[in-house]
Every structure is written in C-alpha cells, then in structure tokens.
Amino acid sequence: MLQQKVRVRFAPSPTGGLHLGGVRTVLFNYLFAKKNNGTFILRIEDTDQTRYVPGAEEYIVDCLKWCGLIPDESPLHGGEYAPYRQSERKPLYREYAEKLVMHGYAYYAFDTPEELEQKRSNVPNFQYGMAYRNEMRNSLSLSQHEVDALLDAGTPHVIRIKMPEDETISFNDMIRGHVSFDTNTIDDKVLLKADGMPTYHLAVVVDDYLMKISHAFRGEEWLPSAPVHLLLWEYLGWKEHMPQWAHLPLILKPDGHGKLSKRDGARLGFPVYAMNWTDAKTGDLTEGFREIGFLPEAFLNLLAMLGWNDGTDQEIFTLDELIEKFSMERISKAGAKFDFEKAKWYNAEWIKKLAPERLTAEIKPVLATKGVEVTNDAYLTAVIELIKDRIVLLNDAYEHAWYFFKQPEEYDLASVKPKWNEAKSDLFDAFISHLNQSRAFDAATLEADFKALLTEKGLKPGDAMLPLRIMLVGGKFGPHVFDIAALLGKEEVIKRIKNGLKAFNA
C-alpha cells in the first residue's frame, strides 16, 4: 500500500436524525485526523433518492457544528475534490460500472421487480448470485445479440458485481486484525441502479479513491459489505490505493443485548440522537441530547469513552486532550453498553468544569424559555457559581435558580408553622432593623450578625435558620442560606423577610 497523507471521511445518508453512534464515528475520524495532522471530510451519500429526507443534510451539518467537529472539506466548506454530494457526482459512476462490465467483473441485469419477486416466492432465502444468476435475465444468461437489443431499446437494467466462486477474501482491520470471507456466501450486489444512481458499494469505493481517503472508519454492521468493496478496489485497479479500514464496535442497549436504537431510547426515556429531529412525513419529534440539556463537551466525552480509553483511570477529557491521547490500539473490539446515568454524570462534571462565562451563555436561554429574562450577566454568573454543583442537565438550571430572580409566591408553611412563635417573629423584626442599619452585606458578616442576634434573643440556630431559608426561597432547598442572601442584596432580603413574616404570622 502506498504511503498517503491522512484523509478520513464521515459519509452519512441524509435520511433522518443523527444517532449517537454516528457522532462517535465522526469523533473517531476527527480525532485520528487531527492527531496525524490530516484532513477530515464530510461527504453526503444521497444516492438513495427514495430515502432522501429534505432538511436532513442541514441537520447533520448543524449537529457537527454543535459538537465542534468542523470538517475541513464538505458540501458547505468546499475543497479540491468537490462536489461532496454523491447526487452531484452521478455521471462519473457509470463510467466505472461499465468498465467493470467490460472486464467481466460485473454484468447487466434486466430482471423486472415482478420477476425478482416471483423468484423470491419460489426459492426460500433467494440470493441473486452464483447459484441462480444463470436462471435470471442478465448479460450472463442472454446472448450478446439479446443484450445489445435490450440496451439499444433503453430497457431498464441494473449493473451487478459478479462474485467469484470458491475464493477467500481477507484484509487486516485496524481494530479486529485479520478478517476473512468466503465468496460463496455473498450475493451479486447491485452496483448501479436503474435510475443511473450508484449503490453505496460502488459509490463509496469510487469516491474514496478519487478523494484520496487514507483510512475508512465505519460501524461494525458494515463488515459484511467489506468483501464486495475489497473486490471493487482490486477490479478497478486501485488495490494499492485502498484505505486502511477500521470497523468500530457497536453501541449496545443498556442490558448489552443488541444495538442501541431510537426505539430503545423512547422505551427507556433517554435520547439517542445528537439534536432534536422532526420526521418530515409524520411530524413526530425525537428528542436530542442538546435539547435535554447536554453540553457538547460532555456529549463528546461520553461518546469517546464508549469503546475507547487511554489506558488510565482518567474519564474527563477536553477535545484537545482526546486528540493528544487518541490511538486506534485502545479501541475495543467488543460493543459498549450505553448507560444514561453515566452519561448524565459526564454532563454534571462538565458543568462544574466549564468556564463561568460559557456556562452563563448556555444557561441564559434555558431561563428565558421559563420566562426569566436576564439583564445582568454578571449577576447570573454569580448565581451559577452558587448552584452549578447541583445541576446535572442544563435544563435543571431553572429549578435551582428561579428564586434568585423572583420572590417566592408560596411557602413551605408546614415546615415552619408547628414551631412558629412570637419570639421567632420578634427575632426577624429585629434582624430587619439590623439590616437597615448595617453597611456590610457579605455572607460571612450576615451569618455572624444573625447568630449574634440569636444568642441575644436566647434562640438556637436550629430555631431560625430554616424559617430564614423558607422566607428567601420558599422551601427547604438551595445553597448556603447566607450566600443566597448576600447575592439577593439588602433591599430584596428585607422585602422577602417581611413577606415571609406576613405568611408565617397569618
């Protein structure tokens, strides 16, 4: 194999939402490219027009943008190997398909859908291959005169690869090592469809060759297609240019039994798509990791750890750290179970780790959806610093922050009223008077002054700390009560204590 500059590609079909397994494939491509000073390419494989969904390509681009995995070459960014949509490359595929026919590696098949269906009805587990190809209507079973007449008449036809008999096809997978296939078990795949569009098998080989792809990473489920692709690289005379392949392990259901699917997410209550996806035909919404409150850094971090580790106990990685430490040798052959609780742990850790300004920018729109319009970013940043250890998903922010922006409308009276008395009421009247005269309003001073007042009134902290908290926030929750008070400010705290006293004394 010739030594090539590292060029890798992610080549999705624009048919729906982007599964987290697809994003992991993007991530591993990206990490490998950046680790080796290579190029990461996005190529849209839209040759199956029957499954094409409007808006899906834009959605894929938006997902990669959210994740921060920006391609060097793509339909959007361009590049010297454009176009990067297979539908725009349609004319060039027939040339290579016809070349395969000319050299005896492929053939024309004129069978109608009805004829194929009839054969499937008559032959259980029918495969269009060496066992039955001579019984079908194709250029192997028909005379040259009949074939020419059908072609001249414009008869619809496909081009199929002619799989050889009794051969073993082998290659070395970067993850799985030596892999072999028996050609007798593989059918004659369609390479070029009747509409002139290539199938995945032909297009992926032609495009990988023309775009000088050096390494091809794809999911384990594509392993059965490998022998067809290996033969095409050989038959087209490009074997020495063939990329090194790596078939990534599956992401499994939480119980480990089978590949994780969208249905599993819906059944178990977690997303499997990177971002919200709305089915254009049904209008059904499938929720995404972004919309339920995941940070892109956490999303990439958790995906990297599904099937890879750096050999240490480290679990939290920045993208730069992943690039530095990534290696193909550390990718597991075995599938990785998806654990949503662990996924949320990654997000909580990243919320603690993220720079305050960045976290403020992420949480501000979350609060806006709940009717909290933040006009002072510095104040919001201070709030977030107090509550971020309590947030698991960004969408949790409102639950932990609302009382910093509006007064409680209800109080947990059941926790206060049974032990409420005139002495406690007098204490808070005295505290209001003290606050009106006090100049300092930091948490430490507030706590010291309040506890001194308690001692003066002959009360214990346990008698008054909970009522103070409930006056400020409405319930038994939140960070340290004097941190809350210091952030709310003197005027607001006095107002809330007065309102609380009215409710407690009613």
What are the pLDDT digits (tens) for 92-128? Answer: 999 999 999 999 999 999 999 999 999 999 999 999 9
Taking the CA of residue 235 as centre, how many other CA atoms within 13 Å lie in the half-sphere pointing to its CB?
24
Considering the entire predicted model, what is its pTM? 0.93
55: left (phi over 0), alpha (psi -120 to 50) or beta: left
Q: Rounded mean pLDDT of 301-316?
A: 97
Segment 210-244, tens digit of pLDDT:
999 999 999 999 999 999 999 999 999 999 999 99
Q: How far apart are CA 129 and CA 122, in angstroms?
A: 16
Check residue 44 and give left, alpha or beta (phi > 0: left; psi -120 to 50: alpha): beta
Burial 12-34 (b: 16+ CB within 10 A, else e): bbbebbbbbbbbbbbbbbbbbbb
Indicate whether 209 pLDDT > 50: yes
Contact criterion met (CB below 8 Å) for 272 and 264? yes
Q: Starting at the earlier edge strand, list the strands of the sheet with 158-161.
A: 106-109, 158-161, 190-192
Nearest 5 degrees, angle CA 212-CA 213-CA 218?
A: 160
The catalytic residue among 35, 99, 259, 262 is 262
Instruction: State the maximum Cα–Cα separation within the chain, in Å, rounded to a whole number.
Output: 113
CA 203 – CA 220 distance, rounded (Å): 19
262 is catalytic: yes
Question: Once rounded to an integer, what is the mean pLDDT over residues 337-356?
Answer: 97
pLDDT reading at 1 higher than 70: no
Residue 2: per-residue pLDDT: 46
Token digits for 168? 């073993």
The per-residue pLDDT for range 451-494, each reduced to its tens digit, is 999 999 999 999 999 999 999 999 999 999 999 999 999 999 99
Report the amino acid identity of residue 438.
S
CA dihedral for 458, 461, 464, 468, sign (positive or negative): positive
pLDDT for 280 equals 82
Read off the pLDDT band of 495 (50, 70, 90). Answer: very high
226 conformational bin, left if phi > 0, alpha if psi -120 to 50, beta if neither? alpha
pLDDT tens string 248-264: 999 999 999 999 999 99
Residue 204 neighbours by CB under 8 Å, 6+ apart: 11, 45, 229
How many Å apart are CA 192 and CA 161, to the nearest integer?
A: 9
**Sole residue written with tokens 């309003």:** 441
Confidence of residue 282 (pLDDT cuts 50, 70, 90): confident
> What are the beta bridge partners of residue 74?
78
What span, in angstroms and rounded, lies between the C-alpha atoms of 305 and 336?
Answer: 9
Q: How far, CA to CA in Å, does 409 sit from each of 121, 318, 366, 412, 470?
A: 70, 42, 21, 10, 11
Residues 361-370: tens digit of each pLDDT: 999 999 999 9
Distance between CA atoms of residues 32 and 328, nearest Å:
8
DSSP element (H, E) containing 192: strand 190-192
What pLDDT, on the 0 to 100 scale, is given for residue 385?
96
* Spatial distance between the Cα atoms of 85 and 468, rounded to a whole number of angstroms: 63
The Cα 48–Cα 52 span in angstroms is 6
Who has greater pLDDT, 15 or 48? 15
Q: Kindly report the three-state secondary structure assignment for every residue of 199-231.
A: CHHHHHHHHHHHCCCCEEEEEHHHHHHHHHHHH
- Each residue's pLDDT tens digit, 57-74: 999 999 999 999 999 999
Does the structure show a pLDDT above 80 at 3?
no
